[in-house]
Structure 1
């Protein structure tokens, strides 16, 4: 049952039913409200009045009598008007001014070059006949006003309402009673004499006092006398009319409130369920109608309201209120559909993005950005020069903000330019460690990055040059030392051999000479091989090589030099094929193993491990050095560098450098790692692939 209720609450039928209820309630509320207002022109405050005296009807009935009497008193009587008793200089002067204005605008006798007095004299002469008739016009106007006042008084005075007015000269009355006591015999009366007003009953007095204070009902009373009274029948009639209007108004207001409650409930329901298929549905389902842009949607909503007001005015003039409900229901349906469509987009968080202004703006911005990013600096400058005036024109209603943003953008770019200019000056003056710091993107940021890269490259080149000079100095020193040592021995033993006659000692000297000569030959061969390897002039023939077999075969030819080293070779691989030159690869490995024999700690272990990746094969050689390795791996790879800084051991210091150059010639590499006295050499060779 619960599932069915949930599905029904979000069904199309339930939504359509709620939509119809909302339109019916909306139309009914509009009709009831307009009908209530049009039938009760005295105001909606009638709803909260308890009796006739508190209502606006009562004060209006009194005012409709008092105001005409006060106006008529100024005319006295029709005979007084005809005799010219109401004609004053002010009235004549006002009509004469109007006549002069017409003369000034339309008469050919008016001369703008003359003074006012001269033109006025011409006016009195030219318009003398009309001026002579002004008094008759004033009398005619006053007679007309007097008749209108009498008609208004006659219309205001209903049956059973008595009045008496006197200003000491003229009397206006519809009763023979002229004494205040005569009027006090009625259930409702108003007695006003010499500025003092007495009203009965008390409720009527309170209402009239409030009204008189607010609107000055008796402010022009002066010494006049006004008596007004309601007969019992007239008062009962007024009271019944008041109660009937009040009850009718209350009934209409309850009806309007009921329609509004139905409209509110159905509208809230539609707000909750629109775009959803159930209460647990998190997604918003949009229809083809919802493709209408929200700003156009909003414009149509306001247009619908405007059209309804225009139609409403036409129907009010024709008093066809019921026919008004047809366009009200139609326009209300359109408006509700548009509102619900916007509600869907609000739920979908796409209200702003689904507007025509946003869509066109984003496309224009995207196009401008693509042109800006893909173009040269000149294109970008031209694009900004064209786009900014267009932006100012489009936002003319807020141009101070647009101008301010433009000034801020120009100031920001000027700061970036000054930062780049200052940075270039510092780098030019020799501060190659200075870095130009700019945030964000843009041409100046790219320029700053390029200058920083150029500065970094310059610094690296200077550092490399200094390092090269230092290496040259050390190379000359080390080569001189390594060559001079055996050469000095050779020269010394030759001198000894010249003066020695003992055959056994001569034989010993010759052996030393042979050893030192061989040492000198090995050094020169290493120098030659290192030069060829670093220059890339060694011919390389890459082929399929089994590096495991190559290592096993080469072990038989090596001499550990009496250090009693124990080799631990990885046996997990029977074969590992690489793409290399067999001779050069073995020469590289031989140099590394020779390095082990020379510098490894006697009676220690040496580990040789194999590993592989998708593209490469790795040979790792690890041993414990017999010397303290107070040197970095980078320095150890330099020519003539030895772990034995005293250079007391055999070797040229070229083995690792030669091995590295030979491996790089075969598209491999050599990496040296030092951890305390642990020496690790990692050989990488490209793996053989079919």
Structure 2
């Protein structure tokens, strides 16, 4: 048996057969990959998809339509809006002006370091008036071009049916305008009035669909913007058939690739073991004429074979079934032979030595060394007589070029250094808005970038310091005002109580004192809790919390307040239990503060939405309500201590609720922020999801 193994393991016939198997396996892998690329855009994802509504093609189809519609109604609206400059954002235009101003600084003789930035900017606007106008026209043309491209893309859709409007502009490919008409179809999407409705359930449960379209919907005005999309039965049927065909192709070719890869790996391992040897005991490597080709040239050929194969295959994608094998097999054969030749040299430890570059360098070094070691005066004299004029000639022709390059390089460096020096002087004089413009990525470029970063940091630090000082001043003022008011009333009524003899009036004074003392207690307790929460010293006991049960139970406890304000609470949450890692008491305290904020400021008789979403590693809680008064305050100011949505400060709260809620959430390793959209107030809490299976 051992003799037979020796006989056939290294025989030329066995090697040829295994080599053919390896070539066929590589060809099979490439053919399967090309078929999936042509038919299924190179994606194997459909193998794991159960139906069309879970497929990548459905997600892409929906995202393309909804993304284009959302962009049109949010950004571009109509031609008149674009031509009026409505699509040019403030930040976008400011960047364009800054670029023009930078060019003005570098190129215009009118720019002067003696003038202030404001004075230079006024001169710039006059001198560059035409360039500014042209830049704005160019931006408008680009937006107009994009607007028409989007419309043209939507005009090509006969199905699915869609309707989108922002209350003024309408984009549609159907006569239907009512969402009820769209909901009659077997599949649809309706987005209006803060609602996002997707049918059927397979599409609704498609997480990829939700995450891909949510970013487009978040930018829309929920009060005015609507998007309806309906999929007809014929469209769904045709797309399902196409998806099934793609899935079948992907599945079949995935199995082919796995099988061919296993076959190639096994055959290649065998070829690596036996190549260059006549038996396993053979210590000598046997080379053929083809192995004499330099290894670096072989590597270049192998790399060149890749585009040589890709170009014809890409050009002949329609006839790939008939022309694939004649194109691929010769290339695979050549490539595999070259790889096996490299393997031989690797075994022989000549992979580097048998390269053209190594041979040239080795021969040159050897020749020079031999000359100087020979001691032959005649040979040295001949080399000097021949080599010296050649060296002089090379130096003569290269000298002007090298001097020119050196002079240009020195000029660029001196110019960059001067720009940095002048910029530092400007910044040192207090102009933190100055930017040092140095082109290139060399040392001076990095130095200028670092100085600009330091300047940005200084500006940010100064702004933060000013903001901190302002907050401290406002905090002291507001705390003093809020505490002094009930305290003054207490002092006044105590004085009246001392002098009052009428028992009936005394009872009224005592009631007022009770109210004011409770008010003072609320203020001091909230102030103490805010200070404790912001310091981070509050003990936290993290545990597994059923957040849906916590909120449901809490709403039951404050039902009397809900009925008093005639509020309609709507909770939206996934099926099944949702657990977070949090401190139950602190989490309820945070939610209780948000509910208290809603009871104080929500529009009476309005709806309040509480949405709970599972984002994978975290749980998202969103509280949304309509404000009873105009929200004429920024988000940053609303989050500051002792700030309220109503600036009259007539509420019974301390104004610390949102600040306390934010700090309590953050010490539980969560995130808290708020958003304002018109009169819509939205509080958003991110909490870590509890990952254990218990």
TM-score of the pair, normalised by structure 1: 0.44
- Computing the radius of gyration over CA atoms, which structure comes out larger, 1 or 2? 1
TM-score of the pair, normalised by structure 2: 0.44
